[in-house]
């Protein structure tokens, strides 16, 4: 019985951090793929949020939105907690809280509308009121981004470093053949 408990404890100790590391926030998952447009409103019937959704339903705006690889997040504060959605699909409480933490918002009143680039950085932030909401301004901000951000891709896993060959006068990775790994005997 002791060995089973020890084995289970060891298994949990090693796999727990691996599972936790895999649970990235929604902005990190979209990084390099999409440009999140995030609306943080006091309720789902907030006039700014309703107007934005209506504007995005128009054919020309919908086309511009998809051409720019944008995705809509909404976060609403209710009496039962914070509710988040990504393109109309519910986010879990953990993902919604991760989204809010990633934005590093300060205290403010009104509805916040934030554009995040493919690189994961805030590009444009509006608080309505006193600001006004115009989708053309957000589309223009995407169009003004440098080419490097427009072509950004998701961060890749680092490639393993190949061992350098022992030959003098050759550069690693320039047409040299890698030596087969030596098999060690006990």
3-state SS record for 37-103: EEEEECCCCCHHHHHHHHHHHCHHHHHHHHHCCEEEEEEEEECCEEEEEECCEECCHHHHHHHHHHH
Q: What is the mean pLDDT of residues 11-37?
A: 69
Rounded to whole angstroms, the Cα distance separating 68 from 124 reads 15
The string of pLDDT tens digits covering residues 97-142 is: 999 888 888 777 789 999 999 988 999 999 888 788 889 999 999 9
- pLDDT for 184 equals 57
In angstroms, the CA 108 to CA 100 distance is: 13
Q: Residue 65's pLDDT is what?
A: 93
pLDDT value of residue 19? 44
Q: Is the Cβ–Cβ distance between 71 and 37 less than 8 Å?
A: yes
Rounded to whole angstroms, the Cα distance separating 52 from 138 reads 12
CB 21 within 8 A of CB 84: no
Work out the pLDDT band at 72, boundaries 50, 70, 90.
Answer: very high
Backbone dihedral angles phi then psi of residue 164, each to the nearest 5 degrees: -70, 140
The mean pLDDT of 151-170, rounded to a whole number, is 52
Q: How far apart are CA 116 and CA 86, in angstroms?
A: 14
For residue 36, the number of C-alpha atoms closer than 13 Å in the C-beta half-sphere is: 27
Phi, psi of 66 (to 5 degrees): -75, -35
Of the given ranges (5-9, 75-79, 169-173), which has the lowest mean pLDDT?
A: 169-173
Distance CA 117, CA 121 (A): 6
CATH numbers and ranges of domains, the chain? 35-132 (3.40.30)
């Amino acid at each position: 019985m002791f060995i089973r408990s020890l084995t289970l404890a060891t298994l949990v100790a090693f796999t727990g951090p691996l599972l936790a590391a895999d649970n990235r926030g929604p902005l990190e998952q979209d990084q390099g793929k999409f440009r999140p447009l995030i609306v943080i409103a006091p309720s789902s019937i907030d006039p700014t949020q309703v107007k934005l959704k209506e504007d995005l339903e128009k054919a020309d705006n919908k086309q511009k939105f998809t051409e720019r690889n944008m995705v809509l997040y909404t976060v609403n504060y209710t009496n039962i907690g914070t509710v988040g959605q990504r393109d109309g699909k519910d986010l879990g409480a953990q993902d919604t809280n991760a989204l809010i933490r990633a934005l590093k918002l300060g205290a403010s009143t009104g509805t916040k509308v934030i554009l995040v680039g493919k690189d994961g950085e805030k590009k444009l932030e509006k608080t309505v009121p006193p600001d006004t909401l115009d989708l053309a301004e957000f589309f223009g901000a995407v169009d003004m981004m440098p080419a490097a951000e427009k072509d950004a891709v998701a961060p890749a896993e680092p490639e393993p470093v190949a061992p350098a060959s022992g030959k003098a006068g050759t550069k690693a990775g320039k047409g040299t053949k890698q030596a087969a790994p030596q098999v060690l005997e006990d």
